[in-house]
Amino acid sequence: MDKENQEAAKQGRDKAEEGEALMWIGNQGNQDLRANFERFKKQKVEQIKYRKYVTEQATVDRKDPLVKKRLREKFLETAKKYFGVPYAKRYFNPGEVHYDAPIFLDCCALVRQITYDMREELGFYLDRWN
């Protein structure tokens, strides 16, 4: 905190002790706490509105039969990337080609991995225990 802000903070403490309104010192200069809260509240409301708008737009788009078809096709194409991925490590012995594979996918893990890969298009992904 620079010397000017330290002095202003000290004056604010002094005024608060005298019963006057406490002023917040920030990048915007001297504003009272209520004005800062209102600004913060307005920003939060705008963020919530924007998130709601994006969610609604994604939902509207997903209702379109052509979008659904495209998502299904992409889901299948993404699944094809995992052809040849071993099912589980327990079916291989040390030294075999798939024993040290980077991933193993059973049927549930395959679906979870595909939805994770497509999380932006789908608007969700499945966590480990879903």
**Bridge partners, 24 (sequence order):** 31
Do residues 110 and 95 lie in contact, with contact meaning Cβ atoms separated by under 8 Å? no
Which helix (H) or strand (E) segment is 79 a member of?
A: helix 65-80
Q: What is the reported pLDDT for 123?
A: 76
Give the model's pLDDT for residue 47. 86
pLDDT at position 23: 46
* SS3 state of residue 104: coil
Q: How far apart are CA 53 and CA 50, in angstroms?
A: 5
Looking at residue 22, its pLDDT comes to 44
Query: What pTM does this model have?
Result: 0.52
**pLDDT (tens digit, 0 to 9) for every residue of the chain, 130 residues total?**
445 545 555 455 444 444 444 444 455 555 688 888 999 999 999 888 877 876 776 666 777 889 889 999 999 999 999 999 998 888 889 989 888 888 899 999 999 999 989 887 887 778 777 5
What is the C-alpha to C-alpha distance for residues 21 and 36, in angstroms, rounded to an integer?
A: 14
